[in-house]
């Protein structure tokens, strides 16, 4: 009986450790939809870093369900306290043209917005189909779960993305 309890307790400890890691350090997320094409594709599975909350421009992040009703994967384009707008398909940040290396398709124009000190402006790479901050507005930092840049599935695509 003691041996059985000892063995069960070992498994319980492992389960608790795995759950803690999954809840507080990293978890897996699945890409749904085509809003991040050509960078990410439907069905890609990625590691989401839950610890790092020092987000930078062009980071790929996952925002929680409070933003759009389901988890979303987008790219940070506008940072807190910045002014951002798009005119004639060109994005301007603080009135300076932004070199947009990840855009897939032309970015639809949007009016100027000044982000608050805890807000980010998110865009999907596939600008033609992405529902992003152009539609639902800036995203508060508290809604961003973490950043992701490592694909773990499909296996032939394993590796870092930017």
Q: Name the residue ranges covered by the structural domains of the chain.
A: 2-160
Instruction: Look at residue 1 in the predicted model and tell me its pLDDT.
Output: 66
Architecture of 2-160 per CATH?
Ribbon (2.10)
First to last CA, the chain: 53
pTM for the full predicted model: 0.88
Q: Does residue 35 carry a catalytic annotation?
A: yes
> Average pLDDT for residues 61-86, to the nearest whole number?
96
- What gap in Å lies between CA 94 and CA 103, rounded to an integer? 19
Instruction: Look at residue 22 in the predicted model and tell me its pLDDT.
Output: 72
Q: Is 94 left (phi over 0), alpha (psi -120 to 50) or beta?
A: left
pLDDT band at 21 (very low <50, low <70, confident <90, very high): confident
Out of 9, 10, 23, 35, which one is annotated catalytic? Answer: 35
Provide the CA 70 distance to its chain's centre, in angstroms. Answer: 12
- Give percent above pLDDT 90 in the chain: 80
Three-state secondary structure of the chain:
CHHHHHHHHHHHHHHHHHHHHHHHCEEEEECCCCCCCCCCCCCCEEEEECCCCCCCCCCEEEECHHHHCCCEEEEEEECCCCEEEEECCEEEECCEECCCCCCECCCCCEEEEECCCCEEEEECCECCCCCCHHHHCCEEHHHEEEEEEEEEECHHHCEECC
Out of 23, 74, 157, 160, which one is annotated catalytic? Answer: 74
Contact present, 146 and 49 (Cβ < 8 Å)? yes
Q: Does residue 162 carry a catalytic annotation?
A: no
Whether the pLDDT of residue 46 is over 90: the answer is yes
Whether the pLDDT of residue 12 is over 90: the answer is no
């Amino acid at each position: 009986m003691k041996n059985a309890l000892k063995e069960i307790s070992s498994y319980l400890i492992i389960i608790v450790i795995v759950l803690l890691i999954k809840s507080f350090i990293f978890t897996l997320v699945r890409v749904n939809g085509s809003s991040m094409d050509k960078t990410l594709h439907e069905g890609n599975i990625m590691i989401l870093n839950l610890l790092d909350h020092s987000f930078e421009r062009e980071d790929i992040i996952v925002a929680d369900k409070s933003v759009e009703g389901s988890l979303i994967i987008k790219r940070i384009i506008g940072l807190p306290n910045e002014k951002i707008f798009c005119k004639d398909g060109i994005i301007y940040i603080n009135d300076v043209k932004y070199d947009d290396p990840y855009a897939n398709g032309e970015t639809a124009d949007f009016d100027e917005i000044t982000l608050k000190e805890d807000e980010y402006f998110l865009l999907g790479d596939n600008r033609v189909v992405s529902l992003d901050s152009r539609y639902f507005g800036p995203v508060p930092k508290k809604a961003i779960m973490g950043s992701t840049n490592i694909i773990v599935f499909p296996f032939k695509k394993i590796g870092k993305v930017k």
